[in-house]
Each structure stands twice: as structure tokens, then as C-alpha cells.
Structure 1
Amino acid sequence: MHVNQQQAEAWSVQEVLERWHRLHKGTLLTQMYLNPELRAQLDASQLQCVNDTAEIYRQRLYDLSWFMRQLNEHIAREANKEDKCTGRFWEGRFKSQALLDEAALMACMAYVDLNPIRAKMETTPESSKHTSVKLRAKAVQQKKAQPKTLFPFVGNPRNNMPQGLPFQLHHYLELVDSTGRIVREDKRGHLSLEASPIMQRLGIAAEQWLSLSCEFEQHFSGAVGKERLLRQYHQGLGHKRTTGLSRCRCLLNSA
């Protein structure tokens, strides 16, 4: 999940309310504000109330917890309707981990994309159901643009870089495919750095990569990144201890 707070803070009141009203009815005043004819009837105090309400909505629209709350409610309603029951769909709170650098981002992406193969539900990444790598591979095979529903790959970091994943798409697909072959064979094979430009750029050794991409959740429970970034992250949150330091130091510090 990529949260772009800076973009959300640049939205106008109009855009914030339009986005919120796609999910909720809002208030009587916000409904009037979105109607050009009724907006003219609002006085200064009512407009201030609309602005205050819009700021609350704005913060919710870029809040990960609110996103999960909305998602959970929708899925629970549909599942309960199908199963003819009531209650929450997920029992516990969702797990949230901050990915602090490119190495952590890539390792987590590959770990998720390889889930079906590790579970022996699929044999190749491009055939794995409900994964982003399948959608990306399908678009490449059909010579189409990258899927609009996914954050795009925009190439290696550079000046005036557009928003997106800081890797080459074909390099990522090759890396996931070669890693998936090793995982599928149920043994630790050899992963050549020459065939993995992303690993080469980030300085991740083959053994480190296999451990990251196959055991990500076993190694990390909180924020993930190089030691320096991890310390900065916890200091920014006012934490006295830097959790997960030894694992990040061992697996990511060469990156």
C-alpha cells in the first residue's frame, strides 16, 4: 500500500468531498456544497463547517486504518450475505509494516507475489491467482501498458522521476520468475547476480535474497529497512528501542 499524504493534502475541498461521497452520504451541508445551486445558499459559518468536515474526511482518505476499515466492512457484508451470518470478516487487526527503502520494498513485493508458489498452489508466478505479478506479466505478454490498478514500475531512481516503483518492470519479473523456480523445486538453488540487475544495484547477495523473499514475515514484524533508516524511523516515533535491528542489519545492511 502506497500512501501519498502530500497529494491528498493538495486536494481541494471539492475533490475531498467528491471522493468521500463515493463511499458515504456525508452531511447535509457537504451535500449542499456539492450542489452548485444549493452552495450559494450557505452562509460563512456553514462554509466554515464544511471546510472543517472536509479536513476530517481528507485525513481519513489517506489513513491506512480507515482504508482497512472500509475494505473490511464491504467484504464482511458480502461474505455475511453469502454465508447467511453476522460478524467481522477478519478476527484481528491488520498487520502494518513500514518499508523504509528499496530493498525492503522489493523483498516484500516478491514475498507476496511468491505466496501461491511457496504454498504449492501454483507452479509459476504468471499463473498465480490474485497476485499483482500475474497482472503485470499478462500485460507484458499482451504488449499492453502496465495495469492501471497497480502502482507502475518507473525505472531506476533519477532526476524528475515520476511516482512509481523504482525498478525496471522486466528486471522484477525476471527476478520473481527465477526465484519462483528455486522455491518450486523445494530446494535452495543458485541465483546468479548477473541475471538479477535489481539485486546487483541494491547489493543484495543471493543467499540474503532467498531468505528475504521466502521468509520475510518470519524475519520482520515491524518496520523494515537498513540500520540507519530503521533507527531514524523509531526515533521519529519517539521509541527508546529500535526493534528488528539485528535482522535488518544481517539481511539488508549490505544493500
Structure 2
Amino acid sequence: MPTARNRLVSLQDTPFYHCVSRCVRRSYLCGVDAYSGVSYEHRRDWVEKRLLELTQAFAIEICAFAVMTNHTHVVLHVDAQKADDWNALEVLIRWHRLFAGTDVTRRYCDDEQRENLTRIELDQVDHQVELYRNRLADLSWFMRSLNEYIAREANKEDGCTGRFWEGRFKSQALLDEQALLACMAYVDLNPIRSGIAKTPEQSDFTSIQMRIRAALQGKQPERLKSFNAGSFESHALPCHLNDYLELVEFTGRAIRDDKVGAIPPCIGTLLQRLEIDLESWVELTEGFEGQFCHLAGRLHSLQHCRQTDGMHRIRGSGNAKRLLGA
């Protein structure tokens, strides 16, 4: 029986989550249908544009993403405090970027009509504002806004109805910086591992390509969560951008050529700081999704999370101890 989503997402434990959505159809989300010869490559652009559009409304940032032929990967950071700091008007403006809202909320956003609202109508606005505020910091609403939009567009193009995704999205809580960086590298290297691209900069519709293109101009992508030297506790991506790009490049070479010893020693600086040995890092980034279940992190992070929610069984504890250290 599937675990309830509110048992899988706990912002008290971590604001970082890895989400995967898989397509149910033979014709795939993207790519070329081997039976009909029809190309669906243009749908990758749908997913990327919708993802980036959602960040303009939600209090949720994108750390990494990859649009594959029959599934999507996205690593998200939920900033609940950001949503709490919005005033009523900003909440409604953000909500109306994606949804129609109600008649009274639309009138509230009009400076002239706002003055004519009655006390009862203003109370209705307050109720809707809090409802929308919670949704704009909700992981399920973010993924729903992404997947439902893509499903509708695909059904319209295919001239059919019915389910497009195989079921609800899969989520993994990334409890510490080791799990976060390993998962981001795993997502960014998905096109290389599948043979779609040979290098990160050639990996179309991925966060790593966006970061590399921006880095060449001395910038970081505005729509992606930035790297800096801050700590994990401050919810900043826990290393410099150059360190991460170098890490992905060398990890990608190790996976593609199967020559772990060929990776330059300089990459050990970040891995040593994370207390992960090189072979474990390569194994993690080859198959992160299969190494853990709904929770991912070091053993003590998993134990602490299980104590918080009152559950005793820790799935993935063996891999946590083996790959991320005790």
C-alpha cells in the first residue's frame, strides 16, 4: 500500500526533495516513437518551460532537473518561510499567474475594485489567501501543476483522453548535503548515462546545461537555486558552483569510461569534505534512485528522521552505511 504523501514530505526534516514522474504510454513523453516514427522531442521544451514558469509563482526552487524520453527528474527546495513572508496581494498575484482564482480574489487585485469589497468579501479573501499560501509552498501542488499541464497538452496533441502518467510522482527526501549533491549529480548525468548526450554541455533540457551556459558568462541561472559557500543548515547549495561543475564533469567521465582511477585527484577535496570515498560516489551517482527509498541520507540522518515520525524500520540503512559512511 502506498505511503501517504504527508508521511513522505516533512519540512521539519529537510526542505530538499527528489521527484520522479514516469509516463505510462508506449509512445513516451518525448523522443521518437519506434512504431509510428513520430517525434515527440518538442515536448521536452514544454516540461522545461513549465518548470521554470512554476518557480515564478511557487515558493519552491529548482536545484536540478532532467527531461528524459519517458520520465522527468527534478530536485526541489521548498522555502516555506518565503511563502509566509508574502503579503496577501503578492500571494494572489502569484496564484493568478497559474490559476483563475475566484471572482472576489480577482477583484481584490484590482486597486479600484478593492475599495468596494464588503467585510464579508474581505474575510473570504483572507481565507483564500491562506489556502493559496499553503498550496504555493506545497510539493504536491507544484508537481500537480507540472504534470497535469503536460498531460493535458499531450492529450490535446494526441487527440485522446486518459491517463498520461503512470501514477503519482515518486519523492525522496534528501536529508543532508551528501544526499543532496549525490542526487543532483545523478539527475544531471542522466542523459549521459542513457546515451542521449556525450557531455554535460550537450545535455539538452537539463539544469547542468543551463548552469554551464550561465557560468561561461560569469553568472548563475536566475530560475535555478544558486550555489554558494553557505552551510546546509542555511538551505544554500553547499559548495561553490565551480566545484559542482568540476564534480559532475569528472564523475561523468568515470561512469562513461568505467575508469575510476582516471579521475584527477583534485576532485577528492569536495568528496573528502563530504566523507564519501570515490568508489561510493561513483556508485551513488550511477543509480541514486535505486539506492534509497523515500528517504535518502547518511545513517544518522535516516535514524533521526524515523525517530521524528515514530517509525522504526529504516529502508536503505545498509546503503546509507556502505555508501555514505556511518
User: Given the two structures, how large is their TM-score scaled by the length of structure 2?
Assistant: 0.72
1:12 alignment partner, one of 87, 94, 115:
87
- Normalized per residue, the structure richer in helix is 1
Q: Which runs of 5+ in 2 are unaligned?
A: 1-75
Partner in structure 2 of residue 235 of structure 1: 307
Partner in structure 2 of residue 70 of structure 1: 145
Q: What CA RMSD, in Å, does the superposition of the two structures yield over aligned residues? A: 1.9
Partner in structure 2 of residue 104 of structure 1: 179
Give yes or no for the alignment of 1:152 onto 2:226: yes
SS of equivalent residue, structure 1 residue 194: helix
In structure 1, C-alpha distance between the alignment counterparts of 2:165 and 2:101, rounded to whole Å: 26
Structure number with bigger Rg = 1
User: For residue 289 of structure 2, what is the amino acid of its counterpart?
Assistant: E
Judged with a 3 Å threshold, the aligned counterparts in structure 2 of structure 1 residues 62 and 89 are, in CA distance, closer, same or farther, namely same
Contact 1:98 1:222 survives alignment (8 Å):
yes
SS of equivalent residue, structure 2 residue 223: coil
In structure 1, C-alpha distance between the alignment counterparts of 2:167 and 2:84, rounded to whole Å: 30
Partner in structure 1 of residue 56 of structure 2: none
User: Given the two structures, how large is their TM-score scaled by the length of structure 1?
Assistant: 0.91
- State the 1:203 CA deviation: 1.4
- State the 1:235 CA deviation: 2.3
Judged with a 3 Å threshold, the aligned counterparts in structure 2 of structure 1 residues 179 and 96 are, in CA distance, closer, same or farther, namely same
> What CA deviation, in whole Å up to 9, does each residue of 1:202-251 have, x standing for no partner?
11101110111112112111111122221221222232322222221221
Q: Which runs of 5+ in 1 are unaligned?
A: none
In structure 2, C-alpha distance between the alignment counterparts of 1:172 and 1:61, rounded to whole Å: 29
Partner in structure 2 of residue 60 of structure 1: 135
Contact 2:275 2:325 survives alignment (8 Å):
no
SS of equivalent residue, structure 1 residue 98: strand
Give yes or no for the alignment of 1:42 onto 2:143: no
User: For residue 125 of structure 2, what is the amino acid of its counterpart?
Assistant: V
Judged with a 3 Å threshold, the aligned counterparts in structure 2 of structure 1 residues 61 and 153 are, in CA distance, closer, same or farther, namely same
User: For residue 118 of structure 1, what is the amino acid of its counterpart?
Assistant: R
User: For residue 129 of structure 1, what is the amino acid of its counterpart?
Assistant: D
Partner in structure 1 of residue 267 of structure 2: 195
In structure 2, C-alpha distance between the alignment counterparts of 1:164 and 1:68, rounded to whole Å: 22
Instruction: Report the count of equivalent residues.
Output: 251
Residues 63-212 of structure 1 aligned to structure 2 (within 5 Å) = 63-141=138-216, 143-157=217-231, 164-212=236-284
Task: Flag the structure with more relative contact order, 1 or 2, with Cα contacts below 8 A and sequence separation at least 6.
Answer: 2
In structure 1, C-alpha distance between the alignment counterparts of 2:150 and 2:203, rounded to whole Å: 22
1:215 alignment partner, one of 271, 280, 287:
287
- State the 1:18 CA deviation: 0.8
Contact 1:111 1:213 survives alignment (8 Å):
yes
